[in-house]
Protein backbone atom coordinates (compact mmCIF):
# COMPACT_ATOMS: atom_id res chain seq x y z
CA UNK A 1 0.00 0.00 0.00
CA UNK A 2 1.08 3.55 -0.67
CA UNK A 3 0.03 7.05 0.36
CA UNK A 4 -2.65 6.94 -2.22
CA UNK A 5 -6.16 8.32 -2.11
CA UNK A 6 -8.98 6.09 -3.26
CA UNK A 7 -11.92 8.11 -4.54
CA UNK A 8 -15.48 6.78 -4.52
CA UNK A 9 -17.51 8.50 -7.19
CA UNK A 10 -21.13 7.82 -8.11
CA UNK A 11 -24.73 9.02 -8.08
CA UNK A 12 -26.63 9.31 -4.80
CA UNK A 13 -27.48 5.80 -3.62
CA UNK A 14 -24.86 4.06 -5.76
CA UNK A 15 -23.41 2.50 -2.60
CA UNK A 16 -20.41 4.81 -2.02
CA UNK A 17 -20.98 4.93 1.74
CA UNK A 18 -21.57 1.20 2.18
CA UNK A 19 -18.77 0.07 -0.11
CA UNK A 20 -16.19 2.58 1.11
CA UNK A 21 -16.89 1.60 4.74
CA UNK A 22 -16.51 -2.09 3.83
CA UNK A 23 -13.27 -1.51 1.90
CA UNK A 24 -11.95 0.61 4.73
CA UNK A 25 -12.45 -2.30 7.18
CA UNK A 26 -11.06 -4.91 4.78
CA UNK A 27 -7.87 -2.99 4.01
CA UNK A 28 -7.43 -1.04 7.25
CA UNK A 29 -7.54 2.27 5.37
CA UNK A 30 -9.32 5.23 6.97
CA UNK A 31 -12.37 6.44 5.10
CA UNK A 32 -13.73 9.99 5.03
CA UNK A 33 -17.11 10.96 3.69
CA UNK A 34 -17.56 14.61 2.76
CA UNK A 35 -21.33 14.11 3.21
CA UNK A 36 -20.76 12.93 6.83
CA UNK A 37 -18.32 15.77 7.52
CA UNK A 38 -20.82 18.33 6.18
CA UNK A 39 -23.74 16.76 8.08
CA UNK A 40 -21.67 17.05 11.28
CA UNK A 41 -20.89 20.70 10.57
CA UNK A 42 -24.58 21.31 9.85
CA UNK A 43 -25.45 20.23 13.42
CA UNK A 44 -23.70 23.31 14.81
CA UNK A 45 -26.04 26.05 15.92
CA UNK A 46 -24.15 28.78 14.05
CA UNK A 47 -25.07 30.80 10.91
CA UNK A 48 -22.74 28.56 8.87
CA UNK A 49 -24.22 25.39 10.43
CA UNK A 50 -27.77 26.55 9.67
CA UNK A 51 -26.81 27.51 6.09
CA UNK A 52 -25.31 24.05 5.50
CA UNK A 53 -28.33 22.32 7.03
CA UNK A 54 -30.61 24.06 4.55
CA UNK A 55 -28.42 23.17 1.55
CA UNK A 56 -28.23 19.51 2.61
CA UNK A 57 -31.97 19.27 3.23
CA UNK A 58 -32.59 20.70 -0.29
CA UNK A 59 -30.35 18.14 -1.96
CA UNK A 60 -28.15 20.84 -3.52
CA UNK A 61 -24.39 20.70 -3.66
CA UNK A 62 -22.39 22.64 -1.09
CA UNK A 63 -20.10 25.25 -2.69
CA UNK A 64 -16.77 24.05 -4.08
CA UNK A 65 -14.85 26.46 -1.86
CA UNK A 66 -16.50 25.15 1.35
CA UNK A 67 -15.97 21.46 0.48
CA UNK A 68 -12.41 22.00 -0.77
CA UNK A 69 -11.57 23.83 2.44
CA UNK A 70 -12.90 20.95 4.55
CA UNK A 71 -10.96 18.35 2.53
CA UNK A 72 -7.75 20.43 2.37
CA UNK A 73 -7.83 20.92 6.14
CA UNK A 74 -8.23 17.17 6.69
CA UNK A 75 -5.54 16.08 4.19
CA UNK A 76 -3.10 18.67 5.48
CA UNK A 77 -3.31 17.05 8.93
CA UNK A 78 -1.63 14.03 7.33
CA UNK A 79 -2.39 11.11 5.06
CA UNK A 80 -1.46 7.75 6.59
CA UNK A 81 1.07 5.49 4.83
CA UNK A 82 -1.75 3.10 3.97
CA UNK A 83 -3.56 5.90 2.13
CA UNK A 84 -7.05 7.29 2.57
CA UNK A 85 -10.49 6.65 1.11
CA UNK A 86 -12.55 9.69 0.13
CA UNK A 87 -16.25 9.00 -0.27
CA UNK A 88 -18.19 11.65 -2.22
CA UNK A 89 -15.32 13.92 -3.25
CA UNK A 90 -14.65 15.31 -5.83
CA UNK A 91 -18.13 15.87 -7.25
CA UNK A 92 -17.32 18.74 -9.63
CA UNK A 93 -14.47 19.56 -12.00
CA UNK A 94 -13.36 22.44 -9.75
CA UNK A 95 -13.10 20.01 -6.82
CA UNK A 96 -11.14 17.50 -8.95
CA UNK A 97 -8.66 20.26 -9.85
CA UNK A 98 -8.42 21.31 -6.21
CA UNK A 99 -7.62 17.68 -5.31
CA UNK A 100 -4.92 17.55 -8.03
CA UNK A 101 -3.28 20.58 -6.41
CA UNK A 102 -3.46 19.01 -2.95
CA UNK A 103 -2.05 15.69 -4.19
CA UNK A 104 0.87 17.54 -5.79
CA UNK A 105 1.48 19.75 -2.76
CA UNK A 106 1.38 16.84 -0.30
CA UNK A 107 3.45 14.50 -2.52
CA UNK A 108 0.75 11.82 -2.67
CA UNK A 109 0.39 9.15 -5.34
CA UNK A 110 -2.04 9.58 -8.20
CA UNK A 111 -5.59 8.84 -6.90
CA UNK A 112 -7.42 5.65 -7.78
CA UNK A 113 -10.97 6.48 -8.92
CA UNK A 114 -13.76 3.96 -8.36
CA UNK A 115 -16.92 5.00 -10.16
CA UNK A 116 -19.98 3.08 -8.95
CA UNK A 117 -22.31 3.13 -11.93
CA UNK A 118 -26.00 2.24 -11.61
CA UNK A 119 -29.40 2.85 -13.21
CA UNK A 120 -31.18 5.94 -11.74
CA UNK A 121 -34.52 4.11 -11.19
CA UNK A 122 -32.80 1.39 -9.13
CA UNK A 123 -31.06 4.08 -7.12
CA UNK A 124 -34.29 5.91 -6.30
CA UNK A 125 -35.77 2.63 -4.99
CA UNK A 126 -32.62 1.98 -3.02
CA UNK A 127 -32.45 5.45 -1.49
CA UNK A 128 -36.05 5.56 -0.31
CA UNK A 129 -35.36 2.27 1.56
CA UNK A 130 -32.07 3.47 3.08
CA UNK A 131 -31.85 3.80 6.86
CA UNK A 132 -28.92 4.79 9.06
CA UNK A 133 -28.00 4.35 12.70
CA UNK A 134 -27.61 7.86 14.16
CA UNK A 135 -25.20 6.51 16.80
CA UNK A 136 -22.64 4.37 14.94
CA UNK A 137 -23.52 5.61 11.38
CA UNK A 138 -23.96 2.05 10.00
CA UNK A 139 -26.00 2.12 6.79
CA UNK A 140 -28.80 -0.40 6.15
CA UNK A 141 -31.36 -0.92 3.44
CA UNK A 142 -34.86 -2.16 4.27
CA UNK A 143 -34.83 -4.32 1.11
CA UNK A 144 -31.27 -5.29 0.22
CA UNK A 145 -29.33 -4.95 3.48
CA UNK A 146 -31.76 -5.10 6.43
CA UNK A 147 -30.58 -4.85 10.02
CA UNK A 148 -30.81 -8.12 11.98
CA UNK A 149 -32.35 -5.89 14.64
CA UNK A 150 -35.35 -4.97 12.43
CA UNK A 151 -35.87 -1.21 12.65
CA UNK A 152 -33.08 -0.96 15.23
CA UNK A 153 -29.33 -1.02 14.59
CA UNK A 154 -27.92 -4.53 14.95
CA UNK A 155 -24.73 -3.11 16.52
CA UNK A 156 -26.16 -0.96 19.30
CA UNK A 157 -29.98 -1.20 19.23
CA UNK A 158 -30.54 2.49 18.32
CA UNK A 159 -33.70 3.25 16.29
CA UNK A 160 -32.72 3.63 12.63
CA UNK A 161 -33.53 6.92 10.89
CA UNK A 162 -34.12 8.08 7.34
CA UNK A 163 -31.91 10.95 6.17
CA UNK A 164 -33.82 14.18 5.43
CA UNK A 165 -32.38 14.15 1.91
CA UNK A 166 -33.60 10.60 1.20
CA UNK A 167 -37.19 11.77 0.57
CA UNK A 168 -38.22 11.25 -3.07
CA UNK A 169 -38.48 14.93 -4.16
CA UNK A 170 -35.07 15.70 -2.68
CA UNK A 171 -33.59 12.56 -4.21
CA UNK A 172 -34.70 13.70 -7.66
CA UNK A 173 -32.99 17.06 -7.12
CA UNK A 174 -29.80 15.31 -5.97
CA UNK A 175 -29.85 13.25 -9.17
CA UNK A 176 -30.23 16.37 -11.32
CA UNK A 177 -27.24 17.90 -9.49
CA UNK A 178 -25.20 14.75 -10.07
CA UNK A 179 -26.14 14.47 -13.75
CA UNK A 180 -25.08 18.03 -14.44
CA UNK A 181 -21.74 17.82 -12.65
CA UNK A 182 -20.57 14.23 -13.27
CA UNK A 183 -19.61 14.46 -16.98
CA UNK A 184 -16.63 16.82 -16.60
CA UNK A 185 -15.36 14.86 -13.56
CA UNK A 186 -15.43 11.59 -15.51
CA UNK A 187 -13.66 13.30 -18.44
CA UNK A 188 -11.02 14.60 -16.03
CA UNK A 189 -10.20 11.11 -14.73
CA UNK A 190 -11.04 8.90 -17.73
CA UNK A 191 -7.44 8.48 -18.91
CA UNK A 192 -6.02 8.09 -15.42
CA UNK A 193 -6.50 5.31 -12.81
CA UNK A 194 -10.23 5.28 -13.34
CA UNK A 195 -12.50 2.22 -13.03
CA UNK A 196 -16.20 2.12 -13.78
CA UNK A 197 -17.84 -0.59 -11.70
CA UNK A 198 -21.37 -1.60 -12.78
CA UNK A 199 -23.56 -1.74 -9.67
CA UNK A 200 -26.37 -4.02 -10.80
CA UNK A 201 -25.29 -6.95 -8.60
CA UNK A 202 -25.55 -7.73 -4.89
CA UNK A 203 -23.53 -5.56 -2.49
CA UNK A 204 -21.13 -8.46 -1.70
CA UNK A 205 -20.48 -9.08 -5.43
CA UNK A 206 -19.73 -5.40 -5.98
CA UNK A 207 -17.47 -5.42 -2.92
CA UNK A 208 -15.43 -8.36 -4.28
CA UNK A 209 -15.07 -6.59 -7.60
CA UNK A 210 -13.83 -3.43 -5.87
CA UNK A 211 -11.36 -5.40 -3.79
CA UNK A 212 -9.95 -7.05 -6.93
CA UNK A 213 -9.44 -3.65 -8.55
CA UNK A 214 -7.80 -2.09 -5.50
CA UNK A 215 -5.51 -5.05 -4.73
CA UNK A 216 -4.57 -5.44 -8.42
CA UNK A 217 -3.78 -1.73 -8.63
CA UNK A 218 -1.62 -1.80 -5.49
CA UNK A 219 0.43 -4.63 -6.95
CA UNK A 220 0.99 -2.59 -10.11
CA UNK A 221 1.99 0.47 -8.10
CA UNK A 222 4.42 -1.56 -5.97
CA UNK A 223 5.99 -3.35 -8.99
P1 LIG B 1 -23.57 12.06 0.47
O2 LIG B 1 -23.58 11.63 1.90
O3 LIG B 1 -22.26 11.80 -0.21
O4 LIG B 1 -24.75 11.57 -0.31
O5 LIG B 1 -23.69 13.68 0.50
C6 LIG B 1 -24.82 14.28 1.08
C7 LIG B 1 -24.87 15.75 0.70
O8 LIG B 1 -23.68 16.41 1.16
C9 LIG B 1 -24.91 16.03 -0.79
O10 LIG B 1 -26.22 15.97 -1.32
C11 LIG B 1 -24.36 17.46 -0.83
O12 LIG B 1 -25.33 18.38 -0.40
C13 LIG B 1 -23.27 17.42 0.23
N14 LIG B 1 -21.96 17.00 -0.32
C15 LIG B 1 -21.24 15.91 0.01
N16 LIG B 1 -20.10 15.86 -0.66
C17 LIG B 1 -20.08 16.96 -1.44
C18 LIG B 1 -19.18 17.48 -2.40
N19 LIG B 1 -18.04 16.85 -2.70
N20 LIG B 1 -19.49 18.66 -3.01
C21 LIG B 1 -20.63 19.33 -2.72
N22 LIG B 1 -21.54 18.89 -1.84
C23 LIG B 1 -21.28 17.71 -1.20
Kindly report, residue by residue over 54-84, the tens digit of the pLDDT.
999 888 899 999 999 999 999 999 999 889 9
**Cα-Cα end-to-end distance for the chain:** 11
For the structural domain made of 5-222, what CATH number should be given?
A: 3.40.50.300
* CA–centroid distance, residue 56 to ligand 1 (Å): 7
Of the ranges 15-29, 139-153, 163-177, which one carries the lowest mean pLDDT score?
A: 163-177
* CA–centroid distance, residue 87 to ligand 1 (Å): 9
| Domain spans in the chain, listed from the N-terminal domain onward | 5-222
Indicate which residue of 4, 53, 131, 174 is catalytic. 174
Please answer whether residues 147 and 18 qualify as being in contact, where contact means their C-beta atoms are separated by less than 8 angstroms.
Answer: no
pTM as predicted:
0.86
pLDDT at 220: 55
pLDDT per position as a tens digit, 103-143:
999 999 999 999 999 888 888 888 899 999 999 999 999 98
| 81 belongs to the catalytic site | no
Amino acid sequence: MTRRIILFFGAPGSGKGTQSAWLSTQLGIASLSTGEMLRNQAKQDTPEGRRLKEILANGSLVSDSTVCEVVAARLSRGVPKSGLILDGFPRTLAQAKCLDDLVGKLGLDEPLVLHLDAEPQRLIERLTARRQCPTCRTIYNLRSLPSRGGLQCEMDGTDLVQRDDDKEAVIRRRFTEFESSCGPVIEHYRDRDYYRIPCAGRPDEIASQLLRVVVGESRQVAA
